[in-house]
Amino acid sequence: LRLELELERLRLDRANRAQQDSQHKQELELMEDVWRGEAQDLLTQIAQLQEENKALVDNLSPKSLTITQEEILRQEAGMSERERQVMKKLKEVVDKQRDELRAKDRELTLKNQDVEALQQQLNRLMKINHDLRHKVTVMDAQGRALIEQKAELEALLQTREQETGKLRAEAGKSRDKSPRQPAHNQEEKGKVNKLLFFPSFEDDRREYFLAEALSEEDFLDSEPVVVDVNDTSRPRFTLQELRDVLHERNELKAKVFVLQEELAYYKSEEAEEENAPFSPPSPALQQKPAAQPESSIRRLFSLFSRDKRAESRLRLQGSAGTWDVFDHREGTPPEQGEEALKDL
């Protein structure tokens, strides 16, 4: 807006200067006409005086003729000198006015160049503003999409938690009704620990995930139970299905955390762009940004994906319901998980 006002002011100045120049030209033309008229009158008077002098010379005697001729020559010399002075003054005034007009023309040319430069700069600023508005619109759309995806994942996570609660309740009922086998308890507990202990995604939620995994272990560490087929309250899910549900819930939590990180990043970037002062675009800004390094969250997520593929190798052995649990150390090196936790 300030540039537009400056441009309008320059245009008005240029119009005023052009009007003043035209007025100066008209005044000069009027002055030249007046001077020409005066010079013509003087020439007419000179001609009349010369005719009168000739008539007087003809009427004079020969003695006075020589004196009269000398006087005429003196008068002509005086008139010519006065005319020269008048013409010289007129010429000086005309030259001065011409120099002023040339200076005004040069100044007007410079002002026109300044106006054109400001117009080009205004066009560039409008283009940059349009690009920034488009970028903000795209980022808003991405932010809304991330918020919707986060809401969907939270809803899915809540559903999974409800299903897990139902499974916990059914497992608790079956545990209360079944006898315990202490010898098999420790072995099954160790297997469940291998499946349910995952690295945390946030430093402040690490203890929460560990406590939750241990609480889920309490209803899975019971010995193989003898299920009555006619019992209506018998468990409807196998141990592998329950483990799959818990693992899927942890993956959904990881996705929600990653989406929260991305949303916070986009919001901070938008706030920086709004608060940053304007500067003309540099070539470095027009280049494509470099690829971001893989975060520790994504590495943990990839480890969980490999754990999910490893769990598919679990096999059911025997009619007693014992499980052959695949050791995670064979599929995923422990150093990678520890390194990711250190990065967090």
Q: What are phi and psi of 322, to 5 degrees?
A: -75, 155
pLDDT digits over 288-301, tens only?
444 444 444 555 55
Q: Mapping DSSP to helix (H, G, I), strand (E, B) and coil, where does residue 115 land? A: helix
pLDDT band of residue 124 (cuts 50, 70, 90) is very high
Least confident of 131-140, 147-156, 225-234, 323-332: 323-332
Q: Is the pLDDT of residue 330 over 80?
A: no
Distance (Å, whole) CA 278 – CA 280? 7
Contact 181, 223 (CB under 8 A): yes
Longest dimension (CA), the chain: 173
Distance (Å, whole) CA 101 – CA 225? 111
In degrees, to the nearest 5, what angle opens at C-alpha 281 toward C-alphas 277 and 282?
115
The arithmetic mean of pLDDT across residues 243-271, rounded, is: 82
- Give pLDDT, residue 286: 41
Least confident of 56-60, 105-109, 263-267, 324-328: 324-328
**Which carries the bigger pLDDT value, residue 16 or residue 66?**
16
pTM over 0.95: no
Q: Is the pLDDT of residue 105 over 80?
A: yes
pLDDT digits over 162-175, tens only?
888 888 888 878 77
The arithmetic mean of pLDDT across residues 2-8, rounded, is: 81
Q: Is the pLDDT of residue 64 over 50?
A: yes
**Which carries the bigger pLDDT value, residue 333 or residue 26?**
26
For residue 343, the surrounding DSSP H or E stretch is helix 334-343
- Give pLDDT, residue 150: 87
- Give pLDDT, residue 134: 92
Distance (Å, whole) CA 78 – CA 83? 9
Residue 198 is given by DSSP the state -
- Give pLDDT, residue 126: 92
Contact 164, 239 (CB under 8 A): no
Distance (Å, whole) CA 30 – CA 311? 106
Least confident of 182-186, 252-256, 268-272: 182-186
Mean pLDDT of the chain: 69
The arithmetic mean of pLDDT across residues 143-157, rounded, is: 88
Cβ partners under 8 Å of residue 326, min gap 6 = 310, 311, 313, 314
Distance (Å, whole) CA 131 – CA 137? 10
Residue 279 is given by DSSP the state -
Distance (Å, whole) CA 322 – CA 319? 8
